[in-house]
Amino acid sequence: MKLHSTQSAAAGGQQVKKTGTKGAARQKILAFASLIILILVFSLLSGNFFRFDNLVGIMLSTAVIGVLALGSTFVIITGGIDLSVGTVMTFSSVMAGVFITYWNGPIYLGVIGGILAGSLCGLVSGLMIAKMKIPPFIATLAVMMITKGLSLIISGTKPIYFTDKPLFNQLTMGSIRGLEIPNAVWIFLIASVIASFILTKTIIGRYNFALGSNEEAARLSGVNTVLWKVVIYVITGTFSGIAGIMMASRLNSAQPALGSGYELEAIAAVVIGGTSLSGGMGSILGTVIGALIMSVLTNGLRILSVAQEWQTVIVGLVIILAVYMDILRRRKNKS
């Protein structure tokens, strides 16, 4: 039933978005409930969990992966994937280091340059996928390897420090006076609002869902699928760029060896948030909640001093549980 409506509506786009958000809305409630339950359980098990500075700490540790996950949401809704977000993030932070430290440029230039470096990587992936028809998995895998290598080459396998520019660290670690919440948390929240706006209120979002539900139908109804696909990968790259700046600012250095594996954490957050890997449905709020679930879980398990080996097992089980519940509910909707 649902499948049917999605297909016939692909041409219009508008209706697709509705079905997409409606399905995701339920998942959001479910994900949100899981998040609350997790917080309750950890609060009961340890008095040190539900405290202002720990909650701020959780938000802060969500920020980088969260912004990566925001970007990943866009490509995953098209039914594609971006494996390069983690290393593109690193690449952007290294480029910021080049602009700010190597060339002694102003901070704003480094921030903009770093983010644009991310967008550029997205553009390359997008062109390979939309124009050259290379499958997203392969194209972004290649970009992942290339950016990883380039980060090491450009930095000379050495971290680039921002210690001469103390303001750069304040970008994420400073806070509005009187409020003990680091800027990184606000940046993450603002980025979420912007991402949500793009996805639900603009033509990019509408075509994003259309591409994911039925690309052929979208093409036949006159949508320039090549152009919009490239645009979407550029958006993902841009968010990776923002994450790169945030990471560099927090660590006060661009670490060229970091970043691999972050893409999988971002994808996990997106999937827990109810975005389907087969495309056509998903939401930003879901992704934000998914990212929060991941970091609440790791933080809580650490506070309880659960052995690390078990922490990863538990996170894996939670991913299975979250996705399976989503599948069950959808099956119910269909019948």
Q: Is 251 near other proteins (CB under 8 A)?
A: yes
State in angstroms the smallest separation of the CB of 333 from other proteins.
37
- Binding other proteins (rule: CB under 8 A), the pick from 157, 202, 221, 278 is 157
State in angstroms the smallest separation of the CB of 289 from other proteins.
19
Which range of residues in 211-219, 232-240, 248-256, 278-286 is near other proteins by CB under 8 A? 248-256
State in angstroms the smallest separation of the CB of 304 from other proteins.
7
* Binding residues for other proteins restricted to 110-139, rule: CB under 8 A: 132-133
Q: Is 54 near other proteins (CB under 8 A)?
A: yes
- Binding other proteins (rule: CB under 8 A), the pick from 154, 173, 204, 315 is 173
- Binding other proteins (rule: CB under 8 A), the pick from 36, 264, 304, 328 is 304
Nearer to other proteins, 25 or 152 (CB): 152
Of the CA atoms within 13 Å of residue 198, those in its CB half-sphere come to: 19
Nearer to other proteins, 277 or 306 (CB): 306
State in angstroms the smallest separation of the CB of 217 from other proteins.
22
Nearer to other proteins, 3 or 138 (CB): 138
State in angstroms the smallest separation of the CB of 247 from other proteins.
6
Which range of residues in 74-82, 105-113, 203-211, 251-259 is near other proteins by CB under 8 A? 251-259
**Mind spelling out the 3-state secondary structure of the chain?**
CHHHHHHHHCCCCHHHHHHHHHHHHHHHHHHHHHHHHHHHHHHHHCCCCCCHHHHHHHHHHHHHHHHHHHHHHHHHHCCCCCCCHHHHHHHHHHHHHHHHHHCCCCHHHHHHHHHHHHHHHHHHHHHHHHCCCCCHHHHHHHHHHHHHHHHHHHHCCCCEECCCCHHHHHHHHCECCCCCCEHHHHHHHHHHHHHHHHHHHCHHHHHHHHHHHCHHHHHHCCCCHHHHHHHHHHHHHHHHHHHHHHHHHHHCEECCCCCCCHHHHHHHHHHHCCCCCCCCCCCHHHHHHHHHHHHHHHHHHHHCCCCHHHHHHHHHHHHHHHHHHHHHHHHHHHC
Q: At what angle do helices 107-130 and 166-173 cross, to 10 degrees?
A: 60
**How many angstroms separate the Cα of 211 from the Cα of each of 150, 151, 222?**
31, 32, 12
Q: Is 43 near other proteins (CB under 8 A)?
A: no
State in angstroms the smallest separation of the CB of 76 from other proteins.
23
State in angstroms the smallest separation of the CB of 302 from other proteins.
4
* Binding residues for other proteins restricted to 59-88, rule: CB under 8 A: 60-61, 64
- Binding other proteins (rule: CB under 8 A), the pick from 51, 176, 321, 327 is 51
Residue from 78, 97, 156, 91 nearest 120 by CA: 91
Nearer to other proteins, 7 or 311 (CB): 311
Q: Is 258 near other proteins (CB under 8 A)?
A: yes
Q: Which residues bind other proteins (CB under 8 A)?
A: 46, 48-49, 51, 53-54, 57, 60-61, 64, 132-133, 152, 157-159, 161, 163, 173, 247, 250-253, 255-258, 260, 295, 298-299, 302-305, 308-309
